[in-house]
Structure 1
Amino acid sequence: MQKSFLVVVIAAFIGAFGIHQFAPAFSASIAFFAGAILAALLFVFLSGSPSKESTPYQGPMMTLYVGNLPYRVHEGEVKELFEQYGAVNSIRLVRDRKTGRRKGFGFVEMAEPGAKEALAKLNDFNFQERTIKVREAKTQDTADPENS
């Protein structure tokens, strides 16, 4: 989306410059307005086609627990790692409520076939100088039956 916006802004300026050069009778403001309209049409054309990232996976999902993550890791880096094995629906890295710092673990929700492969390949995998642990996440009612 950010790349498309940048393309539109550049197209607006180029369009305004071109219109002003080839039709000097137009004032600069009219040329810019015409360039902006052309750029808006370009933006609609660029964002109209659905990309691979915009169509979410619709099949069975599986949530994985990922432990021993580096504290400095970001959601995008974890997503990039797990996307090698299948469609990733969401990433949630857990933070301490008081400090806001990451706790070194999180959850990845992804397509079940890819999740099973990621579970097999990424458990005990060296990621950013840490050996991560990947397990199937337990639901809250099976995680601690005492608190039910």
Structure 2
Amino acid sequence: MQKSFLIVLGIAILGALAIYQLMPQLPAFLAFPAGALLAAAVYAFTSSPSQVQAKTQEAYNGPTMTLYVGNLPYRAHDTEVKSLFEEYGPVNSVRLVRDRKTGRRKGFGFVEMSESGAQKAMTKLNDFIFQERTLKVREAKSQDSDKQE
């Protein structure tokens, strides 16, 4: 079974228990669907719009550019970086680089996004303060150019 299915099932059961505790006269076979609806409503109101949008947004298929993003805070998550860059155009992917041995973030990463959005993001986000750090944003070097030098 998938992890997300188990999480949804667990939330539905907790919701059913909450409904059953609030209304003990309600039969158990009605408490479960009512609890599932209650849990879904709570999730809908507590999840941030950027998280919901990130899950439903399709990948951009036009011309793209990969940006190098340096001086990232170590505590930054890819969802936060993605929502920052999405203000300037569609984002296909965000990859925050981690140390292979420790698993800790190294403070830089790469954002693949629409070419026009990438140009705007480079202009607006280079030297931008993000979580108390000054970002460095520029076009990433291609791996092919590294091999030729």
- Tell me which interval the TM-score lies in, with the shorter structure as reference length: 0.5 to 0.7
Q: Give the total of aligned pairs.
A: 131
Match of 1:96 among 85, 94, 99: 99
Specify every segment of 5 or more residues in structure 2 that has no aligned partner in the other structure, as ranges: 45-51
In 2 relative to 1, CA 130–40 (structure 1 residues): closer, same or farther, beyond 3 Å? Answer: closer
TM-score, normalised to structure 1's length? Answer: 0.66
Aligned to 1:27: none
Aligned mates of 2:23, 2:104 — CA distance in 1: 52
Match of 2:86 among 70, 76, 83: 83
Q: For residue 34 of structure 1, what is the amino acid of its counterpart?
A: L
**Contact (CA 8 Å) 1:96, 1:103: kept in 2 or not?**
yes
In 2 relative to 1, CA 95–35 (structure 1 residues): closer, same or farther, beyond 3 Å? Answer: same
In 2 relative to 1, CA 57–113 (structure 1 residues): closer, same or farther, beyond 3 Å? Answer: farther
Q: What percent identity do the matched residue pairs reach?
A: 54
In 2 relative to 1, CA 14–68 (structure 1 residues): closer, same or farther, beyond 3 Å? Answer: closer
Indicate the SS of the match to 2:76: coil
Indicate the SS of the match to 2:116: helix
TM-score, normalised to structure 2's length? Answer: 0.65
Per-residue deviation at 1:7? 7.4
For 1:8-87, list aligned pairs within 5 A.
Answer: 8-9=12-13, 12-13=16-17, 21=25, 31-37=27-33, 52-53=53-54, 54-60=56-62, 61-87=64-90
In 2 relative to 1, CA 116–32 (structure 1 residues): closer, same or farther, beyond 3 Å? Answer: farther
In 2 relative to 1, CA 36–125 (structure 1 residues): closer, same or farther, beyond 3 Å? Answer: same
Residue-by-residue CA offset, 1:106-128 (whole Å, 9 max, x unaligned): 00122333222111100121222
